[in-house]
């Protein structure tokens, strides 16, 4: 059977791309080797947010006396948290499957492999069958990066070392956890297990946490974590793992720390093995499928979206990339503007950013000015946060007065940042935003407060 489009991978880029294509009239086949919804829905975005919300409720109850609410015999039941997480995931996966069925997408379970070019397109095999697609959308996502640290393989086999996959189904909260990597996944898991009563230590090779996040925000976040009892070892390189002991070097000295469990969370890499991309000559660059801003590869009618292209490993980026790919397949010119994609760390407090940081702006030689205001300028924030230390930072290029970056740490930041992303995307100027009306009282007003500092 010949399909107008074959999608390999059923994560955010894959299932949304398949749905958009099918609704536009393309006969579409989706091939997924594990679970519909991909890592985001099954082993990432949704499961972690479900767990973090339980921890947030628990933390709020523990400190409820600040707000006139008292409670006794509080307990975070980890088994119930995991059970609820599984229920939420099951419902959402079912919803994805239902959506695909409603728009007549054919779904095949199995690993897709590109066999080569055919007269009418490209041959792809899965589950013992061969299919032909006039177009291909490769959306195979990413997987945990496992470094060649001595002892890692043995630790994974023994179940002492976990990745983002295993940690979401851990049966009980360990007494102690060492998290290798202070990026988004590591920090979110540190937040949950710290709230659950676990002694957490984070080992990070850089001199800061949270990757490319604005340095000022990452420092505030780390101080909040440290107040809760999380220990950070920065500028530290793990050199060996032996059973439950992690050996690392810091400032020229060798150190070690023992823990019941170890989370390996140093990053992710695109999944391209097993696809046989070489059979049609798809270009690979530094372990990722090379694409342009329209999602096209070097091969006609072959596109790639999501983590597999390595541009921006975020689910919402994958959604947009998939839409751009399908639009271009249909002859509608479209492109992704990566400078306005927001990012969020769903910790407590939340961190949200979009656009340039001070560091990236300086690297590009952008002449900018900044405005920094405390979240306490927001009445809503003050009403809901005792002694909160959140801030909002806005960067503006001096030449045109355009907003080029917004960075926030504090409650509701994840829900507010889309508005800031729109400002960056639309290249809005300070004088444009000054004319907008923000609802009161909301934490979103903090952006207006920052803007009026210019």
Q: Is 208 a catalytic residue?
A: no
Cis ω on the peptide bond leading into residue 349 (within 30° of 0)?
A: yes
Do 307 and 313 meet the contact criterion of CB atoms below 8 Å apart?
Answer: yes
Do 168 and 189 meet the contact criterion of CB atoms below 8 Å apart?
Answer: no
CA neighbours closer than 13 Å in the CB half-sphere of residue 427 = 3
Do 26 and 4 meet the contact criterion of CB atoms below 8 Å apart?
Answer: yes
Strands 106-109 and 28-32: parallel
The pair of three-digit structure tokens given for residue 404, joined into one six-digit string = 């080029």
d(CA 57, CA 121) in angstroms, rounded, equals: 52
Q: What is the DSSP letter of 437?
A: -
Do 41 and 96 meet the contact criterion of CB atoms below 8 Å apart?
Answer: yes
d(CA 389, CA 227) in angstroms, rounded, equals: 12
Beta bridge partners of 391: 374, 409
* Candidate list 63, 208, 407, 440, residue with the active-site label: 440
397-416 burial string, b = 16+ CB within 10 Å, else e? beeeebbbbbbbbbbbbbeb
- Starting at the earlier edge strand, list the strands of the sheet with 113-118: 2-3, 129-133, 121-126, 113-118
The H or E element containing residue 432 is: helix 430-433
Beta bridge partners of 345: 351
Active-site amino acid positions: 440
């Amino acid at each position: 059977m010949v399909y107008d489009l074959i999608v390999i991978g059923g994560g955010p880029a894959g299932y949304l791309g398949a749905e958009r294509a099918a609704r536009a009239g393309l006969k579409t086949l989706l091939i997924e080797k594990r679970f519909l919804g991909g890592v985001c829905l099954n082993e990432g975005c949704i499961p972690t947010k479900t767990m973090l919300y339980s921890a947030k409720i628990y933390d709020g109850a523990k400190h409820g006396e600040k707000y006139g609410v008292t409670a006794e015999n509080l307990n975070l039941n980890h088994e119930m948290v995991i059970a609820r997480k599984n229920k939420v995931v099951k419902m959402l996966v079912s919803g994805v499957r239902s959506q695909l069925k409603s728009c007549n997408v054919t779904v095949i379970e199995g690993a897709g492999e590109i066999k080569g070019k055919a007269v009418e397109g490209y041959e792809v095999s899965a589950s013992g069958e061969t299919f032909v697609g006039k177009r291909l959308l490769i959306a195979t996502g990413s997987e945990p990066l496992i470094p060649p640290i001595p002892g890692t393989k043995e630790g994974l086999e023994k179940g002492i070392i976990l990745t983002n996959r295993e940690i979401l189904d851990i049966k009980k909260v360990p007494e102690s956890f060492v998290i290798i990597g202070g990026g988004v996944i590591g920090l979110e898991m540190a937040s949950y297990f710290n709230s659950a009563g676990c002694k957490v230590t984070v080992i990070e090779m850089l001199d800061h946490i949270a990757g490319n996040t604005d340095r000022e925000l990452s420092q505030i976040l780390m101080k909040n974590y440290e107040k809760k009892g999380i220990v950070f070892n920065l500028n530290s390189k793990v050199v060996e793992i032996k059973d439950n002991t992690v050996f690392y070097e810091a400032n020229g000295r060798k150190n070690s720390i023992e823990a019941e469990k170890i989370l390996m969370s140093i990053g992710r890499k695109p999944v391209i093995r097993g696809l046989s991309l070489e059979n049609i000559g798809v270009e690979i660059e530094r372990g990722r499928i090379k694409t342009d801003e329209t999602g096209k590869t070097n091969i006609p009618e072959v596109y790639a979206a999501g983590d597999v292209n390595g541009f921006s490993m975020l689910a919402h980026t994958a959604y947009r990339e998939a839409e751009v790919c399908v639009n271009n397949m249909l002859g509608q010119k479209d492109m992704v503007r990566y400078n306005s994609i927001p990012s969020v760390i769903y910790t407590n407090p939340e961190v949200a950013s979009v656009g340039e940081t001070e560091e990236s702006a300086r690297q590009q030689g952008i002449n900018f000015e900044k405005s920094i205001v405390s979240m306490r300028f927001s009445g809503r924030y003050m009403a809901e946060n005792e002694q909160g230390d959140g801030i909002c930072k806005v960067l503006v290029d001096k030449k045109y007065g355009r907003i080029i970056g917004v960075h926030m740490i504090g409650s509701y930041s994840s829900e507010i940042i889309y508005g800031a992303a729109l400002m960056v995307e639309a290249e809005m100027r300070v004088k444009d935003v000054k004319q907008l009306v923000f609802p009161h009282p909301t934490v979103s007003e903090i952006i207006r407060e920052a803007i009026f500092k210019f």
